[in-house]
Amino acid sequence: KTKVTTRRLIEMKRRGEKIACLTSYDFTIASLVDEAGVDLILVGDSASNVMAGNLTTLPITLDEMITYAKGVTRAVKRALVVVDLPFGTYQGNSKEALASAVRVMKEAGAEAVKLEGGAEIRESIERILTAGIPVMGHLGLTPQSINKFGTYNVRAKEEAEARKLEEDARMLDELGCFAIVLEKVPAALAQRVASQVSVPVIGIGAGSGVDGQILVFQDMMGMNHGFSPKFLRRYADLATVINAGVSRYVEDVKNTDFPNADEQY
Ligand code: KIV
Ligand code: NA
């Protein structure tokens, strides 16, 4: 059960060993996810939707991300813990980007940060890397840019966008990012990117030709019935399990079945 490092993930790609990743936003789930053997845990800004109930990832703040990340790093013993830099904390100014990344490392005990984008945020990535902070890239569907694209549909289906994505991926590799997330792009393109870069490509809705996979924990465990993209495989139906348990509890309280004689002092 040796600790996963960024170097180890790169070695796994070289060996052809697939990398299993999931999100977590809290201590309890992160403990379970880590114990089950996931290689990388992402404190995603999807917490904005999943934990805070926002419609997009844009409103979540750096302070909120740090609070979520603290619970995760307190729990995790083996997986590499990566934290998303939220919208507005890294794009315009590389010094602000470094300050944001430093806060996540220092206050939350993260081991790496993830940023959305390619050439547009090159300076920010470079400056964060100069501080010895590992950076994970994120290309394809980048939810922080939803207002630019207007939809959460598959990205890079057209030649020009696919070419830019390939260039961005090569740039992230050359800059020294330790891994790249590819979200919702055609499988053939994702496979081509994975073959062109030296670091692991972690896919979500990017097919099987990449070096690893990531899903949002609450989605893959079936905690919400509303979100059903084609790429999502459900490994449990926790929404049904939780609803049944809570309903029984309510019933037991109402009809005074709970607590019984053995459940009191
Ligand atoms: O925020 C998130 O959960 C993510 C993953 C889906 C890659 O960025
Ligand atoms: Na994210």
Q: Is 214 in the pocket of ligand 1 (CB under 6 A)?
A: yes
Reported ipTM: the value is: 0.99
Active site residue 183: yes
Cα(203) to ligand 2 centroid in Å equals: 13
Same-domain status, 75 and 177:
yes
What is the C-alpha separation between 146 and 221, in angstroms, rounded?
25
Indicate the pLDDT class of residue 43, thresholds 50, 70 and 90: very high
Indicate the pLDDT class of residue 225, thresholds 50, 70 and 90: confident
Structural domain of 117: 6-234
pLDDT value of position 230: 96
Q: How far is CA 130 from the centre of its chain?
A: 23
Same-domain status, 37 and 62:
yes
Q: How far is CA 146 from the centre of its chain?
A: 17
User: Does 161 carry a binding-site annotation?
Assistant: no
Same-domain status, 198 and 226:
yes
Per residue in 20-53, is it b (16+ CB within 10 Å) or e — as a string?
A: bbbbbbbbebbbebbeeebbbbbbbbbbbbbbee
For residue range 193-202, list pLDDT tens digits in order. Answer: 999 999 999 9
Strand 40-43 relative to strand 19-23, pairing? parallel
pLDDT value of position 1: 81
| Residue identifier of the C-alpha nearest atom 2 of ligand 1 | 44
Of the candidates 136, 10, 121, 132, the one whose C-alpha atom is nearest the C-alpha of residue 81 is 136
Identified catalytic residue from 111, 123, 126, 183:
183
For residue range 47-66, list pLDDT tens digits in order. Answer: 999 999 999 999 999 999 99
Cα(132) to ligand 2 centroid in Å equals: 22
Q: Which atom of ligand 1 is nearest to the CA of 202?
A: 7
Q: What is the CATH number of the domain that holds 190?
A: 3.20.20.60
Same-domain status, 100 and 229:
yes
Say whether pTM exceeds 0.95.
yes
Of the candidates 46, 42, 4, 39, the one whose C-alpha atom is nearest the C-alpha of residue 24 is 42
